[in-house]
Amino acid sequence: MANPLYDGLFGIHAEKTTAFLYLPNGQVITHRDFLAKSAQIAHVTAQIGLKPGDRVAVQVEKSAEALALYAACAQAGLVFLPLNTAYTVDELSYFIENSGASLIVCDGGSADQLGIVAKDLNAKIETLNSDGGGSLMEQAREMATSFATVERDGDDLAAFLYTSGTTGRSKGAMLTQNNLLSNAQTLVEEWRFTSADVLLHALPIFHTHGLFVATNVTLAAGGSMIFLPKFDLDQVLDRLPEATTMMGVPTFYTRLLGDARFTKELSAHMRLFVSGSAPLLAETHVQFEHRTGHRILERYGMTETNMNTSNPYEGERRAGTVGFPLPGVEVRICDAEGTAMPQGEIGEIEVRGPNVFRGYWQMPEKTAAELRENGFFITGDLGRIDQDGYVQIVGRNKDLIISGGYNIYPKEIELVLDDQPGVLESAVIGVPHPDFGETVLGVIVPENGVTPDVESIEKAVSQSLARFKHPRKLVMLEELPRNTMGKVQKNILREQYQGMFTS
Ligand code: MLC
Ligand code: AMP
C-alpha cells in the first residue's frame, strides 16, 4: 500500500456517496464529499510548501473541516498534532516550539496572539473557525478535489499527541501510521463495528479517545457519526435515538444517568456504549444497566498506546475491570525492575504490541525510562490480572489526576503556585468529585507571617494554564506532611480532603 493509514481509513471510501457525518445543523456530509474537502486542504498544505514528515499544530473547534484537516495530513504525509482548545498561549507556545511545527492552524480568535508565536518560530499560520470559515478553507475551496496520496510507510509518523509528565514538562508521543491503523482495525473486529453503525460523537477530537478510537474505528468500518461539537446533555438525549453506538468518558454516563429523560426507550436503538479514559465506578455500571438494560463496555488505553484492553463484546463485561488484552497486545504485571509478577498480584502494568508508540519526540532519556528495550511500555498504572484473565486497574504509580477524562499532572500546577508571592511551597492533589470523577485541589503553605492573595494566585494560574487544570479550591496549611525522606505524603492530604466536593 502506498499510504497505509490514508488508504485504510479514508481512501477505501473515496467513491462512496453514503453518509459519513451528520452535523447539528442538519447537513449530511458523504464520504465522497468529505474526502474531496480533505484533498483540497492537502493541496493547500502543499502550496504552503509543507513536506512529508512536517508537523501541523492544530488548535481549532470541532467541525467537519477540522476532521478533514486530519485526513489531509494523512494523505499529504504530514504529522498531525491536535491541541486541546482550552490550552493557553503559554502552553501552546511550548508545544509549537518543541514539535518544530511548520504550520499552525488556529481559530480566527487566537490568530493575533498565535501569529506572534508563529513569527518567532518561523512557522506559517492559517485560520479555521468553528463554522468552517477562515483562511484555510478560503484557499481550499479553490483547489482540485483530488490529491495524489503521498507514499508513506507504516512505520512513518502520523501524529504527535502531547502528554504531560511528572516533571511538569510535556512530551510529544510519536504515533506511527501502523500504531493507529492496527488499533482501529482490531477494535472494529472486537466491537463488531460495521458500515451500518451510527456513532454518537460528543468527545473532543484532539485526544486519543475521540480521534483515534471513535473516529478511526468508524472510518475503518465505513460507518457514520452524529458529529456534535461537544457533550451537551440536551443534544445527546435528542440525537441518541438515531445512533447505534456511543463512546464516552465516565462523566458522560453519570450526566446521562442524572437526567430522568434518559430511559430504556431512548436507548433502545443502541447496540453498544463504550467507556474509557478514566475509571468507571462499579455503581455507575450497575445503575446504567438497571436504567437501560445495556452493560457499558469498559476498555483501557493511553495516549502512548491507543487501546490496550477491552471487556468482551460477547461474554461477561465485568464491572471494575478493563477486560482482556486486545488481540496482538501483550499485558504483563511487573515489579519496578520489569520482572513479571505471579498471577493475581498487584504491580505496574506494562504493554507491548503494534499499538505502542515510537517514543517521545526528541526526548531519548524519557523514552528509555518508559519504553523498555524489549518493547514493553511502562504505563505508570497499577493493576492485577484476576484468575479469569480480566485486567483490573487499582491505582497509579504516577502523580496524575484525571478530571472528566482530561489528564492533569500536579507538578505543572505546583510550579505555577510555588512561583507566587507569599507562597513557600504547594502540593496539588486529586480528590473525588461527583461530576468529574476527580478534581484538582491546591494546598498552599504560606511563607512565614504572610497571607498570600488567593485572587491574584488564581489570576496567575488562569494566565498560564488551561481552565480544566485550575484548582477548584485552594486551601492553606502551615506545613505539608512529609515522610522521613522528606517526600510530601500526598496520600495523607488526599485522605484529609477526600470529602471536600462529595459531602
Ligand atoms: C471542562 N471543564 C473542566 C473539564 N471540562 N474542568 C475539569 N475537568 C474537565 N474535564 C471546565 C469548563 O471549562 C468549565 O469551566 C467547567 O469546567 C464546567 O463546564 P462544563 O460545561 O460542565 O464542562 P463541559 O464542557 O461539559 O466538559 C466536561 C466534559 C469534557 C467531561 C464533557 O471535559 C469532555 O468532553 N471530556 C472528555 C475528555 C476526553 O476526551 N478524554 C480522552 C483523553 S484520551 P468554568 O469556567 O465554566 O467553571 C485518553 C486515552 C483513553 O485518556 O484511554 O481514552
Ligand atoms: P492519557 O495519557 O490521557 O492517554 O490517559 C491515559 C490514562 O488514563 C491511563 O494511563 C489510565 O491511568 C487512565 N485510563 C484510561 N482508561 C481507563 C479506564 N478504563 N480505567 C481507569 N483508568 C483509565
List pLDDT tens digits, range 333-373.
Answer: 999 999 999 999 999 999 999 999 999 999 999 999 999 99
The DSSP letter of residue 387 is: T
CB-ligand 2 contact for 430 (6 Å cutoff): no
Q: Is there an atom of ligand 2 within 6 Å of 284 CB?
A: no
Lowest mean pLDDT among 49-53, 66-70, 315-319, 393-397: 393-397
Nearest ligand by distance to the CA of 253:
1
208 lines ligand 2 (CB under 6 A): yes
Cα–Cα distance measured from residue 25 to residue 22, given in angstroms and rounded to the nearest whole number: 8
> Do 53 and 156 contact (CB within 8 A), yes or no?
yes
pLDDT category of residue 503 using cuts at 50, 70 and 90: confident
Q: Is 347 in the pocket of ligand 1 (CB under 6 A)?
A: no
What is the chain's alpha carbon radius of gyration, rounded to the nearest angstrom? 23
For residue 400, give the ligand 2 atom closest to its CA. Answer: 12
The residue type at 9: L
Percent of the chain at pLDDT exceeding 90: 96
Distance from the alpha carbon of residue 278 to the mean position of ligand 2, in angstroms = 5
pLDDT band at 126 (very low <50, low <70, confident <90, very high): very high
CA distance 125 to 118: 7
Could you list the beta-strand ranges (E) of 249-305.
272-275, 297-302
Would you call 236 exposed, middle or buried from its count of C-beta atoms within 10 A (0-12, 13-18, 19+)?
Answer: buried
CA–CA dist 231, 200 (Å, integer): 10
User: Rounded to the nearest whole angstrom, what is the distance from the C-alpha of residue 144 to the centroid of ligand 2?
Assistant: 41
Centre of ligand 1 to C-alpha 89, Å, is: 19
256 lines ligand 1 (CB under 6 A): no
User: Does 43 score more than 90 pLDDT?
Assistant: yes
Task: Tell me, using a 6 A CB cutoff, whether residue 379 lines ligand 2.
Answer: yes
Q: Is the pLDDT of residue 93 over 60?
A: yes
In this structure, are strands 272-275 and 297-302 parallel, antiparallel, or unpaired?
parallel
Give the pLDDT band of residue 87 (cuts 50, 70, 90): very high
- Ligand 1: does its nearest atom lie under 6 Å from the Cβ of 164? no
CATH number corresponding to 231-396: 3.40.50.12780
* pLDDT for 1: 54
pLDDT tens-digit series, residues 327-337? 999 999 999 99
pLDDT of residue 324: 98
Ligand 2 lined by 302 (C-beta under 6 Å) = yes
Helices (H) and strands (E) in the chain, counts: 15, 25
φ and ψ at residue 170, rounded to 5 degrees: -75, 150
pLDDT (average), residues 209-221: 98
Q: Report the SS3 class of residue 358.
A: coil
Ligand 1 pocket test: which of 251, 309, 439 has the largest number of ligand atoms within 8 Å of its C-beta? Answer: 251
Report DSSP state, residue 163.
Answer: E
> What confidence score (pLDDT) does residue 165 get?
72
Distance 483 CA to ligand 1 centre (A): 34
Segments of the chain assigned to CATH 3.40.50.12780: 32-190, 231-396
Mean pLDDT of the chain: 96
In degrees, to the nearest 5, what angle opens at C-alpha 481 toward C-alphas 476 and 484? 155
CATH fourth-level superfamily of 401-497: ANL, C-terminal domain (3.30.300.30)
Q: Please state the rounded mean pLDDT for residues 452-471.
A: 96
207 lines ligand 1 (CB under 6 A): yes
Strand pairing class (103-106; 55-59): parallel
Q: What's the average model confidence in pLDDT over 105-114?
A: 97
Q: From the CB of 427, is ligand 2 less than 6 Å away?
A: no
Ligand 2 atom, smallest distance to 406 CA:
3
- Per CATH, the homologous superfamily of domain 32-190 is ANL, N-terminal domain (3.40.50.12780)
Q: Does the Cβ of 210 fall within 6 Å of ligand 1?
A: yes
Decide if pLDDT at 168 tops 80. no
| Nearest protein CA to atom 15 of ligand 2, as residue | 277
Q: Is 433 in the pocket of ligand 1 (CB under 6 A)?
A: no
The residue nearest atom 22 of ligand 2, judged by CA position, is 278
**Cα separation, 67 vs 52, whole angstroms:** 19
Pick from 164-178, 312-326, 381-395, 475-489: least confident: 164-178
CA of 405 to the centre of ligand 1 (A): 7
Residue ranges of E strands in 326-446: 330-334, 347-352, 359-360, 377-385, 391-396, 401-403, 406-408, 423-433, 437-446
Ligand 2 atom, smallest distance to 380 CA: 10
Where in the chain is CATH 3.30.300.30? 401-497
